[in-house]
């Protein structure tokens, strides 16, 4: 999940390995590694099942395994305990008895005869009624059906639900992940690590795949070799989230669950008064890239160089994406990304002091994290010696992203001019004389 923030690990030398254990600012300390392997009795249980079984039985072994896995995500003991309490609270208010069944991981959730979800999709985007593993499993199964159930004569409502939950929209996954990052002390890296391990468990136990990257050692377990089963042949393990239909005598109506609501964000009001200046953006192109929105801006300047790129990146790290979750460079336009986030944290959050960043010019520079202004995930990419700026975000609002890009280019986050629009250039193709944002390099 969160594919646009996935990182290619930079190989470290011996000296880098020696200091890898020192946690920089904003990095939660990882518990000491265990010498013994994880208990095999939990090898077929998703993490939220452990919370459900602990809540049901009170057995401390489920709690201990749950916290062990949270530690593998580099969460602190305090954050791990808070996550367990949070999921337990969800399960108290919205019971999921199917999680107590050890075969839950391998059983399908969708009947495909009707939508699985009982309420509207908007309800689930604003109310957290499923624990995290349940959300991951629903998203994973929807993705499978998106690619493999096209020949089935399914209702439009079923297809709409599959499309909404799959990797194209992630209508359940993204709100849950945002809640963790904004309110529970998680980072995007923590979310990625959790979903990667849960996906590995599903690859092995649900789909019989043992060759995917995620299935190598999910949560430290060695993958077994189960026989692959067809997704549509097993009985449905979980009761669908739909209203009971009357058959003869009236069916008892299940009480509507009382959800754990996410705190409603304060409605933001953007400045109406425009800047008394010509925009630094000549034109914008917007397209959907999977679950993300991609905004490409052609800048109304002569072009920018490496020095401006690092200055912009530092401004975003300090003014909006604090704490920064990823810092990557590429040597060629289509080359693999090299991650520098660990070095950035060790430098005290100073991009100019990151070894390897200023010693040579790179083809591109990218930073990413949770935007404080947009309350959404953002990744920004600069391309050396060009006039192009690219922004990925979960925000689908062209005017809002124009405000965001204009503020970025003017380095005006935290000022009274932040998020103000500017007058569009009258003559397309005539770059503005904005020496502050150009270089002769």
Domain boundary (211, 227, 261) is at 261
In a domain, 1, yes or no: no
Please give the Cα distance from 305 to 358 (Å, whole number).
12
Give the bridge partners for 369, in sequence order.
378
DSSP annotation of 423 reads B
The residue behind tokens 């337990």 is: 88
299 and 228 within one domain = no
Please count the other Cβ atoms lying within 10 Å of the Cβ belonging to residue 320: 23
Domain boundary (261, 295, 310) is at 261
Phi/psi of residue 58, nearest 5 degrees: 75, 5
In a domain, 421, yes or no: yes
Contact of 373 with 391, CB cutoff 8 Å: no
Contact of 405 with 389, CB cutoff 8 Å: yes
DSSP annotation of 105 reads G
369 and 239 within one domain = no
339 and 190 within one domain = no
197 and 55 within one domain = yes
SS3 of residue 295 by DSSP: strand
pLDDT at 145: 87
In a domain, 291, yes or no: yes
SS3 of residue 112 by DSSP: coil
In a domain, 385, yes or no: yes
In a domain, 269, yes or no: no
221 and 74 within one domain = yes
Q: With 0-12 CB in 10 A as exposed, 13-18 as middle and 19+ as buried, what is 204? A: buried
Give the bridge partners for 287, in sequence order.
294
Q: With 0-12 CB in 10 A as exposed, 13-18 as middle and 19+ as buried, what is 150? A: exposed
165 and 72 within one domain = yes
Please count the other Cβ atoms lying within 10 Å of the Cβ belonging to residue 207: 18
416 and 346 within one domain = yes
198 and 110 within one domain = yes
Please give the Cα distance from 140 to 204 (Å, whole number).
13
The residue behind tokens 């459900």 is: 52
Which residue intervals of 43-148 are DSSP H helices?
47-57, 60-72, 77-93, 121-126, 132-148
Select from 64, 50, 160, 73 the least CA-distant residue to 110.
Answer: 160
285 and 228 within one domain = no
pLDDT at 36: 59
The model carries a pTM of 0.50
In a domain, 297, yes or no: yes
SS3 of residue 128 by DSSP: strand
- From first CA to last CA, the distance across the chain in angstroms is 38
238 and 366 within one domain = no
- Which token pair is 242? 């739909």
Look up the domain containing 423 and give its range. Answer: 281-437
Walk along the chain (441 residues) and give the pLDDT tens digit of each residue: 444 444 444 444 434 443 333 333 333 444 444 445 688 899 999 999 999 999 999 999 999 999 999 999 999 999 999 999 999 999 998 999 999 999 999 999 998 888 999 888 888 888 999 999 999 999 999 988 888 876 567 888 888 899 889 887 888 999 999 999 999 999 998 999 999 999 999 989 998 888 777 778 899 988 654 444 444 433 344 444 544 444 444 444 444 445 555 454 455 678 888 898 999 999 999 998 766 789 999 999 888 999 999 999 999 999 999 788 889 999 876 667 888 988 998 999 999 899 888 777 899 999 998 888 998 889 999 999 999 999 999 888 999 999 999 999 999 998 999 999 998 776 444 444 444 444 433
- Which token pair is 40? 């095999």
Please give the Cα distance from 420 to 407 (Å, whole number).
7
pLDDT at 121: 87
Give the bridge partners for 294, in sequence order.
287, 392
Contact of 371 with 377, CB cutoff 8 Å: yes
Domain boundary (201, 233, 261) is at 261
Please give the Cα distance from 8 to 14 (Å, whole number).
19
32 and 175 within one domain = yes
Contacts of 201 (CB under 8 A, 6+ apart): 44, 46, 105, 218, 219, 221
Total domains in the fold of the chain: 2
Contacts of 260 (CB under 8 A, 6+ apart): 86, 89, 90, 93, 94, 127, 128, 129
**Can you list the pairs that 244-253 forms with residues at least 24 positions away whose Cβ atoms lie under 8 Å?**
none
In a domain, 20, yes or no: no
Instruction: Compute the C-alpha angle 250/252/254, nearest 5°.
Output: 145
182 and 108 within one domain = yes
Contact of 236 with 111, CB cutoff 8 Å: yes
- Which token pair is 66? 């749950």
In a domain, 252, yes or no: no
The residue behind tokens 């690092």 is: 310
pLDDT at 7: 43
- Which token pair is 438? 């150009």
């Amino acid at each position: 999940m969160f594919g646009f923030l996935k990182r290619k690990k930079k190989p470290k030398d011996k000296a880098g390995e020696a200091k890898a254990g020192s946690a920089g600012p904003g990095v939660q300390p990882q518990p000491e590694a265990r010498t013994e392997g994880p208990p095999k009795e939990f090898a077929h249980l998703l993490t939220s099942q452990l919370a459900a079984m602990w809540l049901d039985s009170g057995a401390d072994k489920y709690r201990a395994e749950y916290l062990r896995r949270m530690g593998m995500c580099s969460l602190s003991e305090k954050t791990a305990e808070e996550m367990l309490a949070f999921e337990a609270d969800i399960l108290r208010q919205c019971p999921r008895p199917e999680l107590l069944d050890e075969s839950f991981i391998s059983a399908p959730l969708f009947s495909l005869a009707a939508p699985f979800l009982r309420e509207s999709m908007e309800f689930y985007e604003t109310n957290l009624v499923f624990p995290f593993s349940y959300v991951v499993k629903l998203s994973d199964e929807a993705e499978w059906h998106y690619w493999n159930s096209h020949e089935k004569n399914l209702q439009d409502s079923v297809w709409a639900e599959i499309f909404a939950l799959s990797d194209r929209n992630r209508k359940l996954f993204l709100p849950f992940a945002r809640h963790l990052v904004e309110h529970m002390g998680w980072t995007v890296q923590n979310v990625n690590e959790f979903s990667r391990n849960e996906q590995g468990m599903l690859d092995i136990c649900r789909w019989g795949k043992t060759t995917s990257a995620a299935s190598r050692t999910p949560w430290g377990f060695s993958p077994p070799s189960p026989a692959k089963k067809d997704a549509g042949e097993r009985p449905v393990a979980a009761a669908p989230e739909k209203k009971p239909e009357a058959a003869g005598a009236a069916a008892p109506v299940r009480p509507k669950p009382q959800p754990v609501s996410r705190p409603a964000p304060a409605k933001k009001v953007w400045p109406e008064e425009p800047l008394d200046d010509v925009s630094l953006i000549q034109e914008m192109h917007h397209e959907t890239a999977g679950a993300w929105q991609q905004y490409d801006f052609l800048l109304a300047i002569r072009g920018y160089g490496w020095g401006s790129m690092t200055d912009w990146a530092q401004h975003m790290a300090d003014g909006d994406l604090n704490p920064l979750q990823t810092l990557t460079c590429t040597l060629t336009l289509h080359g693999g990304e090299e991650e520098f986030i660990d070095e950035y944290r060790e430098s005290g959050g100073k991009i100019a002091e990151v070894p390897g960043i200023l010693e040579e010019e790179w083809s591109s520079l990218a930073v990413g994290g949770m935007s404080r202004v947009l309350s959404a995930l953002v990744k920004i990419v600069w391309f050396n010696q060009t006039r192009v700026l690219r922004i990925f975000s979960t925000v689908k609002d062209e005017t809002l992203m124009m405000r965001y890009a204009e503020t970025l280019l003017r380095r005006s986050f935290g000022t009274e001019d932040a998020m103000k629009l500017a007058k569009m250039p009258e003559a397309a193709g005539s770059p503005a004389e904005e020496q502050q944002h150009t270089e002769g390099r």
